[in-house]
Each structure stands twice: as structure tokens, then as C-alpha cells.
Structure 1
Amino acid sequence: MTVRGQIVRFALVGVVNTGTYYGLYLALLTVLPYVAAHVVAFLLSMVGSFFLTSYFTYRTRPTWRKFLLFPLTNAANFVVTTSGVYLLVDVFRFERTYAPLIAAAAAIPITFAVSRVIMLGPDRRSVEPAPEEERAPAG
């Protein structure tokens, strides 16, 4: 599994996660106030994102430890994008309507790195068995 492949799969999971969040948000708006709809949709889509990131992006088994650490990827994204928007608008005088897009793009590598550490940290068991030549010899 190459890092390039992980990055592509990470981006695809991001697209699916965004669509899932937005679909849930719209559906929940029919029965909840918008803030509650946002929070519930965000949490549900984050759970889905965790499993997609685990199985699809990094091909690793999900664990409770990873599940509990996974929100740090969102925290990292929030810090980078918020700092980025501030710097772009107040320091570099970028247009405030475009600054979040640039900051979000800048956050992708950092969010990827944080998620990679969380998902492939101490527990490196893969969902797929390793090819024969990569397995340790028996005995």
C-alpha cells in the first residue's frame, strides 16, 4: 500500500464524508433545529468516516483506541483552517470569501498526517493478510 494510494483514498473518503454529512444535515433539518441537525450529522458522519478511513484508506482494523483518537483529525483540521483563514484575511489581505477554500486545501496534508499516525500507530495489523514474501518466517 503506497502513501500515494492512501492520499487518493483519503480524499475520496473526504468527499463521501462531506456528502454524508450534508445529506444527514438536510434530512435532520426536517425534525431538528439547525444546530442540533448539524451536531448530529457531524457526529454520525465522523463515525462513518472513521470506518471508511480504517478499512478503505489505511486497510487496518478499527480499534476503540483509534476510534477515541479519531476526532483529533477533525481538531487538527479545525485549528489549521481557522488559523489559515485568519492569516489569509487579516495578515495577507486575501478575500474572505476565498480564504476558507485555500485554508481547507492547506489543511489536507496535515489532516492526512494526523489521521495516518492515529490509524497506523502502534497497532499495525492490516485487514488484508500480508503477501507471503512480507510475512515473518515460521519457526
Structure 2
Amino acid sequence: MTAFIKRLWLRWQKDFWRLFRFGITGTICSAIHYGIYCLCLLVAEANLAYTAGYVVGLVCNYGLTTYFTFKGKPTKGNAAGFAGSHLLNYLLEIGLFNLFLWLGAGKWLSPILVMLIAVPINFVLLRLVFVRRQKVAR
């Protein structure tokens, strides 16, 4: 096996397992987000409930993404990048959420549809933050 093919194979393996771990993290944090959303929806307006769920999911997501998905440690750089990527992600999600509500998907289904679209986009954004930071730190 040539050195190039070996490096390519090792990188593919690393990216595959990172994506797998991200899927686990995303599932756990999305479930927490949706659970908090549903609880808050009982006493609050849909956008406020969605935001509350997002914030709680965000805290969980940072810890799991840092330690489990990307096997790193919290730093000011990845915290700032995480916050920045999640600001973009939140704007995308709240926009999609309101679009799905407007289209008639309902308060219970809309967040699920949003997560199906936003989670893969969030992976790409976070990969840029954590992988770039790891390369710069080396």
C-alpha cells in the first residue's frame, strides 16, 4: 500500500468514527432539546419554548462535542468557535422552525423537521471549528 493510500485510509477511518460519535452526540442533545421544548411548550409560546430547549441542548452539546465527538479539551478558541457556529445554527433553526409552523407542520413536528436539516449542517460547522483548531494547535 502506498503511503498516500494509507494516509487516505487512516483519515477516512478517523472521519467515519468522528461522524459516528457526532451522531450519538446529536441524538442525545436533540432529544434533550426536544424534551425541554415539549415541557416549556406547556407553559410558553412556541418560539420561547424552542429557544429554551436550544439553550439547554447547547450546554450538553458543548461538553459532548468537545470531549466525545472531537476528543479534545475545552479552550477559549473552541468555545468561541462553538458559540459562533451555534449562533449561526440557532438563526437557521429558528428560521426553519417558524417556516415549518407557517407551512402547518404543527408545534410538535416542526422541531423534528428542523433537526433533520440543521444537525448535518451543524456537524460541518463544528468540524471546521474543532479540526482547524486542533491542526493550528499542533
| Same fold? TM cut 0.5 | yes
CA RMSD for the aligned pairs? 3.4
Paired residues, number: 106
How far off is 1:123 after superposition?
A: 4.5
2:131 counterpart of 1:120: yes
Instruction: Determine what percentage of the aligned residue pairs are the same residue.
Output: 21
Q: Please report the TM-score for the alignment, with normalisation by the length of structure 2.
A: 0.59
1:15 to 14, 24, 27: 27
Structure 2 SS opposite 1:60: coil
Which aligned segments of 4 or more residues in structure 1 are displaced greater than 6 angstroms?
Answer: none
How far, CA to CA, are the matches of 2:84 and 2:124 in structure 1? 11
Sort the Cα spacing of 1:39 and 1:51 in 2 relative to 1 into closer, same or farther, 3 A: same
How far, CA to CA, are the matches of 1:76 and 1:32 in structure 2? 22
What is the 5 A alignment of 1:1-139?
Answer: 2-74=14-86, 75=88, 78=92, 104=117, 108=120, 110-123=121-134
Sort the Cα spacing of 1:34 and 1:76 in 2 relative to 1 into closer, same or farther, 3 A: closer
Q: Please report the TM-score for the alignment, with normalisation by the length of structure 1.
A: 0.59
How far, CA to CA, are the matches of 2:47 and 2:123 in structure 1? 27
Write out per-residue CA displacement over residues 54-110 of structure 1, whole angstroms, 9 at most, x where no aligned residue.
11101100123322221444426939x96xx9xxxxxxxxxxxxxx68x828x72x5
Gap regions ≥5 residues in structure 1: 86-99, 125-139
